[in-house]
A and B are shown apart, each in its own frame.
Chain A
Amino acid sequence: MIDRLMGILKLLARIEITIALALMAGALAIWNAESGGGNGIWIVAPLSGLVVNLCAALVSNRTLSAQPALFAFHVGLAGLAIAVAVDALTSFTGHVEVTENSLFDPNMVVGVARPFHNSRLERIRFRQKSFEIKYAPGMSRRDTRSLIEIPEGNSWREIEIGDDTPLVFSPYRLYTSFNKGFAPIVTYVDAQGASYTGAVHLPSYPLNEDRQGNVWIPPGSDEPLTLWLPLEEPLYNVDAEWRFSLPENPSLVVIEQGLRRELRPGESIQLAEGGVLRFESLETWMGYTVTANPYVSLIVATALASLASLLWHISKKLLAPLGAQASSTSRGESGYV
């Protein structure tokens, strides 16, 4: 029984399988990238195969177990595979848009939580202040600096985050993204007199500069309104430096059942279904990516531990004179390296 099991393990541990699967994983990766894929799921098969192959080798391969450093390295690799799998099951990636002068709302985060991700998005607390994005001539985006306030004791403290400086509320990390845009602030007073103020985020600017509009349904109503920010000309000059900024003298176009009306900040209109809509002001919104890898330190630890063992193995190997392993028929000149 034990012998048969060992036989199977030896078969699974064959080095030809390692070679074939490694080449296959590489080829599949390139094929997927070149054919426009990009989600990495396809690579799971050869990599899982490699893990099985590796574990079988750890149990059944004499050459491996006879060399402590090499053995430790391969154990480390198996550990790394486990760590990556744990990460894949517990990570989170998403994005969120936050309006200037308002609080981050965890419910606005859109993303993918892996099956065992324990969501703690409510830990993230900050208030968006202003932000600055510089463009070099040619509309090449330079650094983004976002001013935010985070809670400290009973008050708020202002800090700056940006492309290289994330906001960290462990395990979450928020980075400014290339997404940002304009957000008309509107107040809707319904027929009963209840008042609601909110921001309508327009598509990212300047990426969608020709589509600065959005559809909005006032609370309690079923009549969609189309809100447009009329921009006759781009806000930037392609050949010059530019800082992302609000348009001067903005107005808001409201289209209701085909009727088009234009509002200046502070102006209101009566809507057909009875409510009143006031355009308060034009603000900005900043887009952030939100990621969490709660077990990333496991990956770092196993990767570094296995590479330390590899260093140990290789240095032992390098110390042996060249030619010592060559066949006895070779003339075996040594001492070259």
Chain B
Amino acid sequence: MFEETVLLWIAAGGYVLAALMALAGFKRPALTHIALWILGSALLIHAISIGMRWGRLEHGPYVNLHEILSSNVWSLNAIAFVGATVSALLRRALGSVLGVLQVLTLWLLVTPVTDSALPVTYNTPWLPVHITLGKIFLGLTVIAVGLSIAVLLRRFAKARLQYLPDTDIVEEAAYRLILVAVLFESLMLVAGAAWARDAWGRYWAWDPLETWAFATWMSVIAYIHWRSVRKPRPEHSAIAIIGVFVLAFLTFFGIPFLSAAPHKGAI
């Protein structure tokens, strides 16, 4: 357990360093490449730490707050890493994406590391499918939020963000990410419903987590229609994306720990 935690701290240090480098990369794009190398290494180290814990507890990192934060910090950084590797635009915006993610890194570091036991009804093949789809949804949304923050920062720091393409293009990229995200979110809901039916004999029961996930889905749909039909200003679209993210964030990291329903998402 000691080794796991040490590796986790090293990885967390890597994430923070990568974020700082990527932010500096707004001014000197070459630094973004270094940020990507550091990020890749941190992901590897973190993966080893998660793998050790998985082996020791014999279940994946999705039961208590520490595990959920840790696995999300990993998956969100991994999605940001892949995005920045395949897309020049996302590489240039990496600073603001990683900047957002440091909130989670800090939260992870102040959360006590405790062991957990897999609850009954978690022993189903739908669980990893559901969780993976959810993580991809959140990852794409976080990148869209990073782009949205860049759109908003443009108003104050135009010179610093000169290497980013046109605001319209950054915003459109964010919108497209949300379109792909809604597909994954919908699939996540379908897989979740399949799991619920498998585990409890009902596919939807408006428990707190399901309710909040539904509200998040509705907010994304409202956003998509508004954006695609009303063509709002990029700044307004950016604010709406951040709003959707706040709801998604509460659903993922708030509700599981407040609710006592059988479908806790966590516990």
Q: A residues engaging B (CB < 8 A)?
A: 15, 18-19, 22-23, 25-27, 29-30, 32-33, 38-40, 43, 63, 93, 136, 140-144, 163-164, 166, 173-175, 289-291, 293, 296, 299-300, 303-304, 307, 310-311, 314, 317-318, 322-323, 325-327, 330-337
Interface locus among B9-17, B105-113, B166-174: B166-174
Tell me if B190 and A40 are in contact (CB < 8 A).
no
Q: Which of B31-39, B54-62, B86-94 contacts A (4 or more CB under 8 A)?
A: B86-94
- CB nearest neighbor in B for A299: B203
Question: Quick check: is B85 within 8 A (CB to CB) of the other chain?
Answer: no
Q: Which residues of chain B have C-beta atoms less than 8 A from A164's C-beta?
A: 120-121, 123-124, 198-199
* Contact A40 B203, CB 8 Å, known A336-B88, A336-B173: no
Q: Say yes or no: A330 contacts B166, CB within 8 Å.
A: yes
Residues on B with C-beta less than 8 A from A32 are 206, 211
Contacts of A143 on B, CB cut-off 8 Å? 120
**B186/A310 in contact, CB under 8 A:** yes
Residue ranges of B at the interface with A (Cβ–Cβ < 8 Å): 87-90, 117, 120-121, 123-124, 165-166, 168-169, 172-173, 176, 179-180, 182-183, 186-187, 190, 194, 197-203, 205-208, 211-212, 214-219, 221-222, 225-226, 229-230, 247
Whether the Cβ atoms of B203 and A314 lie closer than 8 Å is no
A255 to chain B, nearest CB (A): 36
Within the assembled complex, what's the spacing in Å between the Cα atoms of A269 and B169?
A: 88
The answer for the CA separation of A332 and B172 in the assembled complex, in Å, is 11
Q: Is the CB of A314 within 8 A of B197?
A: no
* In-complex Cβ contact of A307 among B187, B201, B206, B217 (8 A): B187
A-B pairs under 8 A by CB, number: 145
Residues of B contacting A: mostly = helix
A323 touches B166 (CB 8 A): yes
Q: Once bound together, how far apart are the Cα atoms of A140 and B199, in whole Å? A: 18
Evaluate whether A326 and B225 lie within 8 angstroms (CB atoms) in the complex, with A30-B212, A143-B120 already known.
Answer: no
With A330-B166, A331-B166 in contact, is A337–B90 under 8 Å at CB?
Answer: yes
Q: Is the CB of A330 within 8 A of B212?
A: no
Q: What's the Cα separation between A142 and B247 when bound, in Å? A: 32
A67 → chain B closest CB, angstroms: 11
20 additional contacts (CB under 8 A) given A29-B211, A290-B201, A332-B169: A19-B222, A19-B225, A23-B222, A25-B215, A32-B211, A33-B211, A38-B206, A144-B120, A164-B120, A164-B123, A164-B124, A164-B199, A175-B201, A310-B183, A317-B176, A317-B179, A322-B176, A323-B165, A325-B172, A337-B90
B206 and A40 contacting across the interface, CB-CB below 8 Å: yes
A304/B169 in contact, CB under 8 A: no
- Chain A interface mostly: mixed
Q: Would you call A336 and B124 a contact (CB within 8 A)?
A: no
Chain A residue at minimal CB-CB distance from B223: A19
Bound state CA distance, A163 and B124, in angstroms?
A: 11
Taking a contact as CB atoms under 8 Å apart, the answer to whether B165 and A333 are in contact is yes
- A residues less than 8 Å from B197 (CB atoms): 293, 296
Given the complex, which residues of B lie within 8 Å of A136, measured CB to CB?
Answer: 117
A40 to B201, CA, bound (A): 17
9 tightest A-B CB contacts, nearest first: A336-B89, A26-B215, A26-B218, A291-B201, A22-B222, A33-B211, A163-B120, A326-B168, A22-B218
Selected from B166, B180, B187, B198, the residue in CB contact (under 8 A) with A326 is B166
Q: Is the CB of A289 within 8 A of B226?
A: no
Question: Which single member of A29, A291, A307 contacts B183 (CB below 8 Å)?
Answer: A307
Chain B residues whose CB sits within 8 angstroms of the CB of A326 once the complex forms? 166, 168-169, 172
In the bound complex, what is the Cα–Cα distance between A6 and B73 (angstroms)? Answer: 51
User: A330, B201: Cβ atoms under 8 Å?
Assistant: no
Q: Contact: B208 with A23, CB < 8 Å? A: no
The answer to whether B225 touches A322, judged by C-beta atoms less than 8 angstroms apart, is no
Q: Which residues of B sit under 8 angstroms from A332, Cβ to Cβ?
A: 166, 169
Chain A nearest CB from B132 CB (Å) reads: 16
Complex Cα–Cα for A30 and B250 (A): 12
Cβ–Cβ < 8 Å partners of B202 in chain A: 93, 291, 293
B221 touches A333 (CB 8 A): no
Contact between A18 and B117, CB atoms less than 8 A apart: no
Given A30-B212, A93-B202, A332-B166: A18 touches B89 (CB 8 Å cut-off)? no
Question: Which of A33, A289, A327 lies in contact with B206, CB distance below 8 A?
Answer: A33
B259 to A, closest residue via Cβ: A33
Residues of the B chain whose Cβ atoms lie less than 8 Å from the Cβ of A93: 201-202
Of B179, B190, B199, B215, the residue contacting A27 (CB under 8 A) is B215
**Interchain CB contact (< 8 A) of B172 among A141, A304, A322:** A322
**Is A22 a contact of B219 with CB atoms below 8 Å?**
yes
- The answer to whether residues A296 and B203 also contact, given A322-B173, A333-B166, A337-B89 and a CB cut-off of 8 A, is yes
List residues of chain B with CB within 8 A of the CB of A142. Answer: 117, 120
With both beta carbons as reference points, the residue of chain A lying nearest to B226 in the complex is identified as: A19
Q: How far is the CA of A136 from the CA of B117 in the complex (A)?
A: 10
Q: In angstroms, how far is the closest chain B Cβ from the Cβ of A268? A: 41
Q: Which residue of B lies closest to A166 (CB)?
A: B201
- Give the chain A neighbours of B89 by CB distance below 8 A: 322, 336-337
